[in-house]
Amino acid sequence: MNIVLVEPEIPMNTGNIARSCAATGAVLHLVEPLGFSVDDKAVKRAGLDYWHLVDVRIYSGLDEFWEKNPGVRCWFLSTKAPRSYTEAVFSENDYLFFGKETKGLPEELLYANSESCLRIPIRAEARSLNLANSVAIVLFEALRQQGFPGLSGEGKMAQG
């Protein structure tokens, strides 16, 4: 799976998303401008000691992203989308796009890809979920549909 963050603003969110990518093997794509430096302590702290497990790719903008990733299958997450993420059938190499915390994805991107736009159902009175939580919800649904490829799911409980 591939997680694409378009212009993320909050370092702790990106750090937490990087940790989810490390735990699942998902590739993290960051589309600039970023609201922080990837060397930022808050990003590193949120990702804890998992950064060596994350394949992070940084792009100067969406034009560079499309140039380097032609023809990929994409899903665009937005509170404005008409369809729930649970209605999508995900494939292992899909790209899940999430927008900046304050504005979401660019509207022109959503309109140009309306058939691939998804939302996470929430109460009408709530504006949105936290970005890191949103990524985790959709990423794990996509992985669940595929039978959690490459993930053991085996925990170790203390005997006693």
Residue 140 counted as domain residue: yes
Report the CATH number that the domain containing residue 52 is assigned in CATH: 3.40.1280.10
Q: How far apart are CA 75 and CA 107, in angstroms?
A: 14
Q: How far apart are CA 120 and CA 111, in angstroms?
A: 18
Residue 153 counted as domain residue: no
Residue 150 counted as domain residue: no
Q: For residue 152, name the pLDDT band (cuts at 50, 70, 90).
A: confident
User: Residue 31: beta bridge partners?
Assistant: 6, 59
Residue 154 counted as domain residue: no
Residue 156 counted as domain residue: no
User: What would the pLDDT profile of 101-142 be if each residue is shown by its tens digit?
Assistant: 999 999 999 999 999 999 999 998 998 999 999 999 999 999
Range of the domain at 121: 2-145
Q: pTM above 0.85?
A: yes
Bridging pattern class, strands 117-118 and 56-59: unpaired
Domain count of the fold of the chain: 1
